[in-house]
Structure 1
Amino acid sequence: MIRLDTGAITEIALLAAHCDDLAIGLGGTLLTLADSVPGLRVRALILTGAGTEREGEERAALESFCPGADLDVRVLDLPDGRTPVHWERAKEAVGELRRGGDPQVVFAPQRDDAHQDHRLLAELAPTEFRDHLILGYEILKWENDTPRPSLFHPLSEVVARRKAELLMKHYPSQRDHDWFDEESFLGLCRLRGVQCRARYAEAFLVEKATITFGGA
């Protein structure tokens, strides 16, 4: 596989429509970054779930997925499945997140996600984070919108299994979904691992990037 290494990463921004999107889409990557970057600055925005049990789940989950990080989580109360109607408020929230820091990497949903709430954030992310590396994550769910990713992050077996365990531990409200189980999450990680000659991996779509050959 062709390998590209990043420079130092000290801050990341996370955009999600729903509580659990981040853990599903990049839980293994968060565990890896938090372990390798002491004091990693993590700024997260979730559009829905404020004031519900899901907010509590999300805050506890992100604490576990980002151990030791400088973590700031903002959860809004936009209605699930109706966020495009609240475009202005979502746009302002993304703008506030942008003005509150300068992340080296932004993680957001990918543009071809079948869920309208996810697509809204995918469209808003580059309008505010105009000069940032944006990686679109995939969210396993009932719809058959699994993308063809262009960037893979190999995960160790320990990290992949830890991701699955934490998902089951921190999101009990989602266990009634027939696809929400450790086998599903490990299955997708195994598939992405096959596609990048690793045991497990998470995969992303690159919004836009530049490359410098031969040094900085």
Structure 2
Amino acid sequence: MIDLLPGSLRRVAAVAAHCDDLAIGAGGTLLAMCTAHPGIRVDALILSGGGTEREREERAALAAFCPGADLRVTVGKLPDGRLPAHWEEAKRAVEELRLRTVPDLILAPQPGDAHQDHRGLAELVPTAFRDHLTLGYEIVKWDGDLGRPNAYQPLDLALAERKVALLWEHYPSQRRRHWFDREAFLGLARVRGIECHARYAEAFYVRKLTLDLAGG
């Protein structure tokens, strides 16, 4: 059964290929969920950046994006941009995450992402989590791979601004990148907000969803 009952949201698995992917793609959603569900368990798996400055940034950032959560973070050491060449190691990490949690919701890269690491992880997630609702987040980038998402998490102005402020505060190593700025993050959030009749929003891709319209 693939469904989402917000009233019973107790466990979330959040997976990413790189440090900052989760915060960029779903930071507002994490803030909204963790604020609304104090004590929610969040198991975060990041495949690369372990043992570096990026890991330190990521742990501090996720703690800020998941206030009040039972947060458990694992940061692996796969080389950036080389996931296809380390397929077995990446698959093992996802399968080990599956042994640690039975999530009500999974946040993961979306399958149409142009970055090979993101796309590869998106392909791996359903091999381990076969009956779980997965929201595929998007990351704005040079490749121009933004598509037509089919699920949205509205964000009010305060939440959207909070997300951007936390990104800037916790990822100083990324500030030099031309796409890492307030305009890029709020601009995409504004477009996605228009698409769901909200001021701002984060958008997701849902591959499969089971309905319970009879209320059973």
Q: Distance in 2 between matches of 1:179 and 1:109?
A: 18
Q: How does 1:1-216 map to 2 (within 5 A)?
A: 6-216=6-216
Could you tell me which runs of 5 or more consecutive residues in structure 1 were left unpaired when the two chains were aligned. none
Q: Distance in 2 between matches of 1:157 and 1:214?
A: 36
Q: What is the letter of the counterpart of residue 178 of structure 2?
A: D
Q: What is the letter of the counterpart of residue 74 of structure 1?
A: T
Normalised TM-score (structure 1)? 0.96
Give per-residue Cα distances to partners, 1:32-60, cap 9 Å, x unaligned.
Answer: 00100010100011010011100000000
Report the CA distance between 1:182 and its aligned residue. Answer: 1.0
Report the CA distance between 1:214 and its aligned residue. Answer: 2.8
Aligned residues: 213
Normalised TM-score (structure 2)? 0.96
Q: Distance in 2 between matches of 1:6 and 1:207?
A: 19
Give per-residue Cα distances to partners, 1:150-201, cap 9 Å, x unaligned.
Answer: 0011111111100000000100100111110011101111100000000000
Report the CA distance between 1:64 and its aligned residue. Answer: 0.2
CA gap 1:5/1:95 in 2 versus in 1, 3 angstroms: closer
Give per-residue Cα distances to partners, 1:105-146, cap 9 Å, x unaligned.
Answer: 011100110100001110000000001001100011211001
Q: Distance in 2 between matches of 1:130 and 1:215?
A: 23
Identity of paired residues, percent?
Answer: 62
* Deviation >4 Å, runs of 4+: none
Report the CA distance between 1:7 and its aligned residue. Answer: 4.2
- Aligned to 1:43, the other structure's residue is in SS state strand
Report the CA distance between 1:6 and its aligned residue. Answer: 3.6
Q: Distance in 2 between matches of 1:44 and 1:183?
A: 27
Q: Distance in 2 between matches of 1:39 and 1:145?
A: 35
- Aligned to 2:8, the other structure's residue is in SS state coil
Q: Distance in 1 between matches of 2:208 and 2:125?
A: 12
